[in-house]
Each structure stands twice: as C-alpha cells, then as structure tokens.
Chains A and B, each alone.
Chain A
Amino acid sequence: MAVTRYCTRTYLQDQRIFPSHSAKISLTLFVIFLVLLPAFAGQYLLLVASLCGIATISVLGLNILTGYTGQLSLGHAAFMAIGGYTVALTGEHFHLPFELNLILAGVVASIAGLVVAIPSLRLKGLYLIITTMAFQFIVEYVLLHWESLTEGERGIPIHAYSLFQLNLDDRSQQFYVVLVLAIAATILTKNLAMSRTGRAFVAVRDHDIAAEIIGVNLAKHKIMSFIASSFMAGIGGCLYAYVYQRITPEIFTFMVSIEYVAMIIVGGMGTVVGGILGACFMTLLPQFLGLIFGPLSSAYPFMSSRLGAINIMIYGMIIIFFLLFEPEGLFGIWIRIKNYWKPWPFKY
C-alpha cells in the first residue's frame, strides 16, 4: 500500500522514476523484449499481449481511484464502454483520425466520471459501491437498448485506421500502439502517485477527516481521482474497440468491472507495479487455464462441462487466496522475493 519507496533516504531518491540502476536495466530489457515480441509471436499471442496492455492502462486508472484514493468502484467497465463507444460513433459518423479519437474517448469518459463523482462526494464504502454499480447497469442497459445509436447487441464495427502511416489493422502494429500507451500510462501514474496530488489521494484514502484537517481539499481530490481514473478507462475502452474491431455491450459487462477490481486486489492495491502484475495475471489466467483445459476437453468431451466448472472454480479460488493470504497481492510477493535476494548469500 506504500507510495514511497522502501529504504530511501532523501526526497530526491524518493522522486526518481527508477529506484535503482538494476531496476532501470531490467525494465529496459523487458521493454526491448516487448518490442521484439511481434518478431516471433503469432496472432494469438499478440492479441493477448495487447489485451494485457489495455488491461494495464485501465487498471492503472482504477488503481488511482481505488488503490490510491480509496474510492471503491464497481463501474470501471462502464467508463471503458463509454470510451469504446465514443470512438465507434465518432469513427462511424465523423471519420476522425485515431489520435483524436483516442483523446476524445478519454475526455468523454472523464466527463462521465465527473457526472458520477459529484453525487458520490458524500458517499463512501458500500454506498459508493452501490452508486458505481448502478452506473454500470445504467450504461449497460443504455448500450443494449438504445439500438438506434449503439446497434444493440450486434455492436458497431470499427473500420481500418492508421496512425502516422502505420496500418493499425495489423496485429503487431496494434500491439506497438498499445505498448507505447501502456508505458505512457505507467509513467503518468507513477509520477502522479509521487506528486503532491498523489500524496493527497493517499491521505484521503488513509483518513479523510485527518486529510481535510491538514488542508487537503476532499471534494477536489475525489473528483480529480474520478476524472483521472475514468480518463484512463476511456483510453482503455478505445483501444479495446480498435483491437476488437467491433464494439458490443457484452465486452463491458458488470463482470468485467469485477475482474478489474480483482486485478488490483491480486496485483496489490495502490502500487503501479501491482496494477501491472494484476492486469497481466488476470488477463493471462483464463488463457493459461485454457492451455490446460483445452486439450483435456478435446480428449474427454464428456468431462468438458466439469472441466469448465473447475476452470471457474480455480479462478475464484485464486482471488480468495490473495484476499486471505496475500493482501498485498503479487506486489507483496515481488517485494518479498526482492528482499530475500538483496542480502544473498547472507541471511540478513
């Protein structure tokens, strides 16, 4: 749950994006690996990698709201849907370029975030959850039933688009766009978390009354948090629409909102690394389970429905496991692993 680094002695150290040289090198190597990924990955792997990137952007948004500011939301998928449908509609009717669509998706989603944030200022805990959940259901209902605008369940196809001469119809080029935006979102969130505003968010989360006493404007920071969160969700939704090339209400259901909350729980609330780990883990988990259960279903078709149920059970059990035994999520595990190896070969 910590915003500041472990074992830092000066503010300068605390404000660095990369805490150490080894972190800088390992992250650079990781980015190089990602850049080279399209050279050896197939369409499926690239799609899954793009989905991880999109989930990362959206989950970082939710982490700002829930992890840093402590405002629980079960309507994150609705903001993504707003972003996604914005690009679908603007693309269909106004043929706007990709970069403009992207910004527009974020802006429209953040306006929706503002609309939810203002009445939610006086709410917290369960009441806020119910409000955001209601927002999710309203958006779902509108998308499904305002058929003249949204085409209902059949959805809106997203036509081929390009960015700076790149044909983004291609999976590898799509992946690069998602990668660049995911990196940008990570740096932005990291900076925001370490800024004065980010620390105010944490103060609101830890004790709102105490925060107000020390001069943090609660309303302003809650609204800012909602806007930042929904902006990133909108961007995520926009990218989802482009990657899927068709947008339907079923992409952004209540279950998706739950999954996003699960991502920050599993990854670790209030940490950027945790958000990324959670997003990747929860996106890859069904694919990984599919790798195990897919061949089993092929071999034993009459076991398939049971295998499907086991699949879901494992999914639920992992979330329960993290809630009970690893409340700091994958981030906590990561820190423990790091701390274990730091003094190696000595014990302490």
Chain B
Amino acid sequence: MKTKGMFFSVFLAVVFLFSHSALAEVGVTEDSILFGHFAPMSGPGAYLGKMSVGLTQAWMKHINDQGGIHGRKLSLIIEDNKYDPNLTKTAFFKLMDKKIFALINVYGSSPCVAIMDDVQKAKIPVIPTYASTHLMFLPMKRYWFWLAGCGLESGVVVNDYIYGDLKLKDARLGICYQDDEWGKDGRLGTEIGAKKYGKKPVAVSLKRGSKDLTSQVTTLMMSRATHVYFVGYAPDFAMLIKTAQNLNYRPQFIGDYVSVDARIADWGGPITDGAWAIGVTGLPQEQGMGIDWAKEISAKYMPAPFDKIFIPLQLIIFAGSKAAQTALESCGRNLTREKFVDALGETGGLDMGGLVGKLGYSKTSRKGISQYRVYKFHYGQKKFTMLSDWRYPSIKAEETR
C-alpha cells in the first residue's frame, strides 16, 4: 500500500512537472516577463534610439515599482542594430536565443522589413513597431502591431489640408523625402493625394545621413514650390529649412510626424518659426489621462532632458507601452504569446488619454493609427500648436492597394 502510494505521488509529481513545463511560455517565468528591444545607438537615428530605450525602461520601472503585471516584473534586453538591416537580423536571432517573450517599441523601416518574415515564422509578437511603412500592416501580419505615422497617409493629409481645408488653389507642393521605404511611402502618398486635387508635386530625394541639402533646395526653388513637405528625421528637417534660408527661399515647410520635435528650434534657429508638421500624437501641453501618465513616469524615472515631454514622439512610445500593458493585464496569469496577440487585437478603440488618436487594432487589422493632426511650430515658445484636429486622410492606405 505504502509502495503504491509512493508510486502515485511520483506519478502526480511527474504529471505536474510536465504539465507545468507545457504551460510555460518562452520568456515568461513565475515572476518575470522578458522583452527584447533593438535600436540604433549610433548613426543618424541614434537620437531616437536613446530615447526609445530610456522610455521603455522608464515604463518598465514604473510597472515593476507597482508590483509588476499579475506579479511578474518586466525586464528588457537591448541590442544595438545601428539602423542596419544585417545587424538587425543577427540582433533578432540573438534576442530569440535569449528567449524573449516579445519585441517591444522597435522602429526603423529597413530594419523591421529585414526581420518581417522571421518574426512571423518565429511567432514572436512585436508591440509595437514604429516603422513608418505601410508594409508593416498591409497585408495584415498577425504578430506585427504597427503604431506610427504612415508616410502614405501623411502625404494625403498634407494635400487635404492645403487644397481641401485652406483651398490654396495656386499652391505648388514639393516633397523632399529620405530615400528609403519611409520616404518613398511619403512621396507616394503625396502624389496620390495631389492627384485627387488635380495637382502634381515636385519630388526630390535625400540620402539618409546627408549633410548637405543644397541641391534638393535648389531643385525645389527652381520648381517654385510654395509648400515643401519633408519626410525624414527632425534634424534633417531643420537643416532643410536652414539651407533654404541661406538660398533666400522661403516656402511653407511641413514636416512629418517625426519632425513634431521642439528641438528643431535648436537645430534650425528662428527660421523654423511657423513650420507645420503632420502629427499622430497629442501635444505635451495638452491635458489627458494618457499624457498625464506619460508625464508622471518621465518625471519620476527619466534623467534630464527627457524628464519632461517635449517631443510628441515620446508620447507614441508611451502609447505603445500602454497598449502592451493593457493586453498583458487582460491575459491574466496564464500568459502565452498567442493569448497576448489576441488580447492586443482587442485593444482597438482603447482610450489612449490623448497620447494618440483612436487605437485601431482589431482581429483583422494591425494598423494602430489612422488619425492625424496638422501642427504649427512656435519658435519663441518652443512648442507646436494645433492647426487642425484629429482627422482621417481622404484616401486611406488600404484603398491605395
């Protein structure tokens, strides 16, 4: 009897052991969830990489100080991808070998495209990607959650605002775009939007990391563009405005969502006053539950100057983190990647408290952002103000396919 009892106990122990290991998800332990992150820590995109790493860690510290999510603390492994698709590939596999649960807050069109298929194959959720190309959500990829300004739709919004809202019939639109997937999306959107109003924009490209934009400005000037839409990094946007000033060319400059960055005042000087930008986030000076939450975390966990929200891009990272947090909370203790992905798919319409417009995730869509705003920069106050409230582009990215 005693032997039978012992065998039964051993049997139960083995069953428990195996059932437990069968339930355990990669990257999830009793008391932790491991996330992976890659970002450029050097090169032209490093200023964003530094911020995304810091903000993600601040959000995690905030969660962990409150006891974690369902008793599990969040931790992060970072890889420097130098904005290089090759290094992103190795970084991704390195993170995979380190058994991450999911990738969080990653960005860069080329790096993300490089691992697009690997992520799908490995079934690792990416929440979210800030890569600005429509390839991230069209066609829908189950494990990729996109949250950024879509270059294509931003281009349409520029036209909607100039020709639709302001009815500037004589305006001649030019676009200066970074010669990559993000920039090309912007060019395509601008062309599609302009076509709707019977216009044809002038397009000039720049190589990422260019230090001189004289030829681009000269082309735009020769074509008599009255409005110049720029798709690229904020420092380059400021450089474009400065270069134009040096050539005595003063069109209305319009940046894309990355250029909604108050530091353009430092990079470009007083000439940046009055520049417009197409934004996808709220503004730091606005009130809102989400914005207040972001401000609180930044003030508590971030060193200066990032202890204050001054770039709406900071808000978008908090928006992504908020969506991840909501999904993790709704998954309960029994956390799996598939459950997490399903939960993320149900965060659509979630009130982001002013961080971004309406969150657009659903079972059939991974497009987190569809609403845009037009902003104006005030050099003296070093801040953007709203020119037009949340709006949808007249032509959506899905309709262009």
A binding-site residues for B, Cβ under 8 Å: 42-45, 47-48, 51, 144, 152-155, 157, 244-246, 248, 250-251, 286-287, 290, 293-294, 297-298, 301-302, 304-305, 307-309, 311-312
Residue picked from A144, A154, A293, A304, most chain B C-beta under 10 Å? A304
With the chains together, A246 CA to B180 CA distance in Å? Answer: 16
- A153 and B303 within 8 A (CB): no
- A309 and B110 within 8 A (CB): no
Q: How big is the B interface, by class?
A: 35 or more
With the chains together, A311 CA to B96 CA distance in Å? Answer: 23
Cβ-defined partner of A154 (8 Å) among B91, B133, B179, B303 = B133
With the chains together, A30 CA to B68 CA distance in Å? Answer: 47
CB nearest to B303 among chain A residues: A302
Residues of A within 8 A of B85 (CB): 248, 250-251
With the chains together, A42 CA to B96 CA distance in Å? Answer: 9
With the chains together, A307 CA to B49 CA distance in Å? Answer: 12
Residues of B within 8 A of A43 (CB): 93, 96-97
Residues of B within 8 A of A309 (CB): 42
Cβ-defined partner of B90 (8 Å) among A48, A154, A297 = A48
Q: How far is the CB of B309 from chain A (nearest CB, A)?
A: 16
With the chains together, A287 CA to B86 CA distance in Å? Answer: 11
With the chains together, A152 CA to B183 CA distance in Å? Answer: 12
CB nearest to A43 among chain B residues: B93
Residues of B within 8 A of A250 (CB): 84-86, 110, 114
With the chains together, A43 CA to B96 CA distance in Å? Answer: 8
Cβ-defined partner of A153 (8 Å) among B53, B80, B87, B180 = B180
With the chains together, A45 CA to B94 CA distance in Å? Answer: 8
Cβ-defined partner of B113 (8 Å) among A51, A248, A298 = A248
List residues 79-126 of chain B with CB under 8 A from any CB of chain A. Answer: 79-80, 82, 84-87, 89-91, 93-94, 96-97, 109-110, 113-114, 116-118
- A297 and B114 within 8 A (CB): no
CB nearest to B302 among chain A residues: A302
15 A-B pairs with CB atoms under 8 Å apart are A42-B96, A43-B93, A47-B90, A153-B109, A153-B110, A157-B117, A245-B117, A250-B86, A250-B110, A251-B86, A287-B90, A294-B78, A298-B76, A305-B42, A305-B50
> Does B47 touch A at the CB level, under 8 Å?
yes
CB nearest to A141 among chain B residues: B179
Residue picked from B79, B85, B96, most chain A C-beta under 10 Å? B85
Residues of B within 8 A of A47 (CB): 89-90, 93
CB nearest to B91 among chain A residues: A290
Residues of B within 8 A of A44 (CB): 90, 93-94, 96-97
- B109 and A290 within 8 A (CB): no
Residues of A within 8 A of B113 (CB): 153-155, 246, 248
> Does B40 touch A at the CB level, under 8 Å?
yes
> Does B273 touch A at the CB level, under 8 Å?
no
With the chains together, A246 CA to B117 CA distance in Å? Answer: 8
Q: Per-residue 0/1 for B204-235: is the Cβ within 8 Å of any A Cβ (1 yes, 0 no)?
A: 00000000000000000000000000000000
Sorted nearest first, the 5 A-B pairs with minimum C-beta distance are A308-B42, A308-B41, A42-B97, A44-B93, A301-B53
Residues of A within 8 A of B79 (CB): 290, 294
CB nearest to A48 among chain B residues: B90
Residues of A within 8 A of B53 (CB): 297, 301, 304
Q: How far is the CB of A296 from chain B (nearest CB, A)?
A: 9
- B57 and A311 within 8 A (CB): no
With the chains together, A42 CA to B135 CA distance in Å? Answer: 29
With the chains together, A218 CA to B49 CA distance in Å? Answer: 51
With the chains together, A302 CA to B47 CA distance in Å? Answer: 10
Residues of A within 8 A of B49 (CB): 304-305, 308
Q: How far is the CB of A170 from chain B (nearest CB, A)?
A: 11
- A302 and B50 within 8 A (CB): yes
With the chains together, A301 CA to B301 CA distance in Å? Answer: 12
CB nearest to A240 among chain B residues: B86
> Does B46 touch A at the CB level, under 8 Å?
yes
With the chains together, A42 CA to B92 CA distance in Å? Answer: 12
- B135 and A154 within 8 A (CB): yes
Residues of A within 8 A of B27 (CB): none
Residues of A within 8 A of B84 (CB): 250
Once A48-B90, A244-B114 are accepted as A-B contacts, the answer to whether A152 and B97 lie under 8 Å apart by CB is no
CB nearest to B179 among chain A residues: A144
Q: Per-residue 0/1 for B41-56: is the Cβ within 8 Å of any A Cβ (1 yes, 0 no)?
A: 1110011011001100
> Does B396 touch A at the CB level, under 8 Å?
no
Residues of B within 8 A of A302 (CB): 50, 54, 303
Residues of B within 8 A of A251 (CB): 85-86
CB nearest to B37 among chain A residues: A298
Once A248-B113, A297-B78, A298-B78 are accepted as A-B contacts, the answer to whether A153 and B97 lie under 8 Å apart by CB is no
CB nearest to B115 among chain A residues: A246
- A244 and B89 within 8 A (CB): yes
- B41 and A304 within 8 A (CB): yes
Q: How far is the CB of B167 from chain A (nearest CB, A)?
A: 34
- A307 and B117 within 8 A (CB): no
With the chains together, A244 CA to B184 CA distance in Å? Answer: 23
With the chains together, A294 CA to B81 CA distance in Å? Answer: 10
> Does B181 touch A at the CB level, under 8 Å?
yes
CB nearest to A296 among chain B residues: B78
Residues of B within 8 A of A286 (CB): 87
- B47 and A305 within 8 A (CB): yes
- B90 and A304 within 8 A (CB): no
Once A44-B90, A298-B78 are accepted as A-B contacts, the answer to whether A307 and B41 lie under 8 Å apart by CB is yes
With the chains together, A124 CA to B285 CA distance in Å? Answer: 62
CB nearest to A306 among chain B residues: B41
CB nearest to A255 among chain B residues: B84
Residues of B within 8 A of A42 (CB): 93, 96-97
With the chains together, A298 CA to B61 CA distance in Å? Answer: 13
With the chains together, A298 CA to B77 CA distance in Å? Answer: 6
Q: Per-residue 0/1 for B339-353: is the Cβ within 8 Å of any A Cβ (1 yes, 0 no)?
A: 000000000000000
CB nearest to B56 among chain A residues: A301
- B117 and A311 within 8 A (CB): no
Cβ-defined partner of B46 (8 Å) among A152, A154, A305 = A305
Q: How far is the CB of A183 from chain B (nearest CB, A)?
A: 23
